[in-house]
Every structure is written in C-alpha cells, then in structure tokens.
Amino acid sequence: MEGSIKKGFNPSGVGVKGPLFGLPFTPGTSKVVVIPVPWDVTVSYRAGTAKAPQAILGASTQIDFYHEWYPDIWKVGFAIDDYPEDWASKSRALRKKVEPYIQHLESGGDVAHADWQKLVNEINDESAQLNRWVKARSGHWQDRQKIVGMLGGDHSTPLGNINAIAARHESFGILQIDAHADLRKAYEGFQFSHASIMYNALQLPEVHKIVTVGLRDYCQEEVDLAKDEKDRIAFFTNTNWKEKQFNGTTWSQYCREIINTLPESVYISFDIDGLSSDHCPNTGTPVPGGLTFDQAVYLIHQLVISGRKIIGFDLCEVGVSENEWDENVGFRILYHLCASSAYSAKLQSFQEN
C-alpha cells in the first residue's frame, strides 16, 4: 500500500515547497489524492475561501510527518491534483457579478426582477458544471483505487465528490463537522449554495445518514427538515454537548454517541467553522463556540478505531490570513484527514484478509 518514495528523501529534513506537505509523491504514486476546488461564488457573508487551496498548499510544508496514532502512514502517499486555474478565474468573475445581488437581498429586495433571475440561473448553471467537473475528477482517481479528498473553496464545492462516492458505494453516512446545518433549499435562489450542500447530498439515496457535529447556527427550515428526516439526519449541537459536558459527560463518551449513529462506510465533510473561531478567525461565516482542534482530530481517530471505513472527505471554508494562522490550522486538519482515511483503509484491508 506504500507509495513510491523518492530515493534519498529525508522525512526529518527541511520541507520543500511544491508538493502537498512537501511529500515526494504525485497523484499517480499516492494512495490519497486531494482535488483543489477554488470556488466561493455563493458565499453569503465573507468571500476569500477560493484562495484557500493554494494558500494551504503553500503553507503545508511546515509540518512534520510523524503521526502519533499512525506513525508511518505518510509513506502510502498524499498528493494534490492539478490546480484548476480556469475554475479559479471563473469563480472570481462570477463572484463580482453576484455581490450586488446579495447586497440587494440584504437590503430587503427579492429575485423578481428578470435581470436578477437571469443571474441566478447563470450561477446555477455554472455551479452544476463545476459539480460535474469535480465528480469526473473524483471518479477518475477513485477508479484508480485512490482515496479522494476535496479541498475548497466554500462548502458548496464537495457535492461532485459526494456524487462520485455515491456512484461507487451502495450506502454510506456523512460525518459533517460544521457550525451550520447547510440544509437550506436553494438558499438566496442558488440551487448549489454553500448553505445547501447537505440538502443536496440528502437527495442521493445512497446517503444513509448525515450526522452533524458542532452545530450552533441554524434555522427553522433546517430543524423542520431534520424532524421530517429523523432517520437520516442527526444533530449533535454545541448546546447539547455543553449541557452534557457541564453535567459530567466526557468527550470520549460523547464521541461514542456520535459514532454509534454512523454506518460502516463514512464520508467526512469538514467545514472549518465547525471549530472554535480562534482556530479559524477568517473563515467565511465564523460562529462563537465550536470544537477545539484536539476534539475534532480525536473524534476522527475514534471513528477509525471503531472499525468504520472513511471512503472520502473534504475540507472547506478555510480563510486566508496575513499570518497564515487559518492556513496552518487548515493544513493540519487536512493532514489528519489524509492520514485517518489511509489508515482506515489499511485497517479495513487487514480485517478483510
């Protein structure tokens, strides 16, 4: 399962910029391939997360590879796919067109005017094309026996990856770490809004369960949908966790509650705003409260050792900052996602044999 390691590579040496984490792998020689998707057209508060894939890649060499839970797992290879400059350029252009429309809505306007509706239709069409492109890239690598992750961009971007996973798995759950439920239907008129990713994922019959952790900012529409789909949606809210914590429940116990609601195969969708805002102050929609970095990686580790298999993942909504703090937290979460996914596959293979 190990990737092809360049001769003479020193894992304790200076991080060399260029490849993801400074590791000596290409997508072809890696077990885990990350698709960068620089897109944040529909964000409703602060834009800028489209810059995250390049920023995270650039900062990612400031990491040491030793992983206390999975010491040599980096040897299977983690790599990033080619950067899609055409999609980055299109995101920038469309975002400029969208901003006046969002300001119009925030001033009390509606979408009744023909020009606004034309713009909404254009964004929906372009977003659908993006989804098809991500699905095709993900499928390309999955068909080559890779574990595929996706690096956004805003939280609308993983839908193509989730679709590609659904095309290859009969049933799976989604562990969503997020401050928001993202269950709104066509938010602001945008069918593929960052606030609608889990609503869209729920339309896939292969998605058996969506389990949201860190949730603390959501609306009545989302509560009603969760009640209607109570067998497929589970909320582990920030308030619920804090009440239990204050009454003596440990994070380890709470993690077991979360994991027990998930099926055998799990896709992880990690919106960075699921973390406490001191970890991600420049994310698109920050919310007070949330998980610590340690709680998040512990939850993912407990998912792995429970015997469940991580079949794919995404990391979204990482902001860009002058001191690279958001990027630093982001690439470390990404490293844990790569390592945990690879180790869960290795563990599953061992159990099957």
What's the pLDDT tens digit per position in 156-179?
A: 999 999 999 999 999 999 999 999
**Confidence at residue 102, expressed as pLDDT on a 0 to 100 scale:** 87
25-352: CATH number = 3.40.800.10
Domain chopping of the chain, boundaries: 25-352
**Confidence at residue 353, expressed as pLDDT on a 0 to 100 scale:** 43
> Of 88, 122, 105, 89, nearest to 44 (Cα)?
105
* Cβ atoms of 265 and 169 closer than 8 Å: yes
Give the rounded distance of the alpha carbon of 320 from its chain centre. 16
CA 32-38-96 angle, 5° bins: 170
Q: How many residues belong to the chain?
A: 353
* Cβ atoms of 275 and 309 closer than 8 Å: no
**Confidence at residue 335, expressed as pLDDT on a 0 to 100 scale:** 98
> Of 224, 222, 158, 226, nearest to 187 (Cα)?
222
Identity at 214, one-letter amino acid code: G
Cα 127 to Cα 83: distance, rounded to the nearest angstrom: 18
Digitized pLDDT (tens) for each residue of the chain, 353 residues in all: 455 676 778 888 877 787 999 999 999 999 999 999 999 998 877 888 999 999 999 999 999 999 999 999 999 999 999 999 999 999 999 999 999 988 888 888 887 777 888 999 999 999 999 999 999 999 999 999 999 999 999 999 999 999 999 999 999 999 999 999 999 998 888 899 999 999 999 999 999 999 999 999 999 999 999 999 999 999 999 999 999 999 999 999 999 999 999 999 999 999 999 999 999 999 988 999 999 999 999 999 999 999 999 999 999 999 998 889 999 999 999 999 999 999 999 766 545 54
* Cβ atoms of 37 and 153 closer than 8 Å: yes
Q: What is the pTM of this model?
A: 0.95
**Confidence at residue 11, expressed as pLDDT on a 0 to 100 scale:** 83
Cα 252 to Cα 263: distance, rounded to the nearest angstrom: 19
Q: Within 13 Å and on the Cβ side, how many CA atoms surround 47? A: 16
Q: Is the dihedral of CA 109, 111, 112, 118 positive or negative?
A: positive
List the strands of the sheet with 172-177, edge to edge: 78-80, 32-37, 147-152, 309-316, 265-271, 172-177, 207-215, 233-237
Query: pLDDT tens for residues 255-270?
Result: 999 999 999 999 999 9
The values of phi and psi at residue 260, to 5°, are: -65, -15
* Alpha helices in 67-113, H assignment, sequence order: 85-106
Q: Is the dihedral of CA 181, 187, 193, 199 positive or negative?
A: positive
**Confidence at residue 6, expressed as pLDDT on a 0 to 100 scale:** 67
